[in-house]
């Protein structure tokens, strides 16, 4: 899927864009880029969930503006159920007056998230909340250039439970256009 140079706005409690990769999800590529704007009041600007066994999703969010004004995360990504989710989140402006600008979770020992988080602007008080729930062992969440990720983005990265529970990786696969 490719989405670029688009503007979507919702009001009320509706999420602006919701992507659900279910139990029978197959491999896929998602690219949202080039000045795409998602705005909402009381929902997530972008909500992504995946829980497909053996699904492999390459995801890119690059050069966009996402905003909301509530306790819901601006960009909310929850990965579980054995999915591999390769995410490149670069050069975006994320704004939220009430919650985290980015929340990304890898939940489950057979689930894997690899994240390139670079050159994003969540503002001086903005928060990127990364959560690994590795349920009993091993890494299930890797960060490209982990030890410099906080310095490479405007805002604060909250490694949950601790930075040492995240693997430091050298690169993340990116989506490919057909």
Q: Could you read off the pLDDT tens digit of each residue along the chain, which spans 178 residues?
A: 999 999 999 988 889 999 998 877 678 899 999 999 999 988 999 999 999 888 899 999 999 999 998 889 999 999 998 999 999 999 999 999 889 999 999 998 889 999 999 999 999 899 999 999 876 667 899 999 999 999 999 999 999 999 999 999 999 999 988 7
In a domain, 131, yes or no: yes
What domain count does the chain have?
1
Report the C-alpha gap between 130 and 145 in whole angstroms. Answer: 14
In a domain, 178, yes or no: no
Q: Is residue 166 part of a domain?
A: no
- Residue 143's DSSP bridge partners are 115, 168
Is 152 in contact with 124 (CB distance < 8 Å)?
A: no
Q: Which residue range is the domain that position 75 belongs to? A: 2-157
pTM: 0.95
Cβ of 126: how many Cβ atoms within 10 Å? 21
CA angle 126-153-151, nearest 5°?
A: 110
- The SS3 call for residue 14 is coil
The tokens describing 70, both together, are: 């509530």
30 assigned to some structural domain:
yes
Instruction: Write down how long the chain is.
Output: 178
């Amino acid at each position: 899927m490719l989405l670029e140079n688009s503007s979507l706005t919702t009001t009320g409690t509706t999420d602006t864009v919701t992507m659900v990769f279910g139990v029978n999800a197959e491999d896929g590529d998602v690219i949202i880029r080039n000045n795409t704007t998602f705005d909402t009041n009381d929902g997530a600007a972008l909500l992504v969930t995946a829980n497909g066994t053996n699904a492999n999703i390459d995801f890119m969010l690059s050069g966009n503006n996402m905003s909301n004004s509530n306790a819901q995360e601006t960009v909310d990504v929850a990965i579980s159920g054995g999915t591999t989710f390769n995410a490149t989140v670069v050069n975006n402006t994320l704004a939220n007056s009430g919650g985290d600008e980015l929340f990304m979770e890898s939940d489950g020992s057979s689930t894997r998230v690899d994240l390139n988080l670079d050159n994003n602007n969540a503002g001086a008080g903005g928060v990127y909340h990364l959560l690994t729930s590795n349920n009993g062992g091993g890494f299930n969440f890797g960060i490209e250039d982990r030890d410099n990720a906080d310095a490479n983005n405007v805002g604060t990265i909250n490694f949950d439970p601790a930075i040492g529970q995240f693997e430091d990786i050298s690169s993340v696969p990116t989506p490919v256009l057909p």
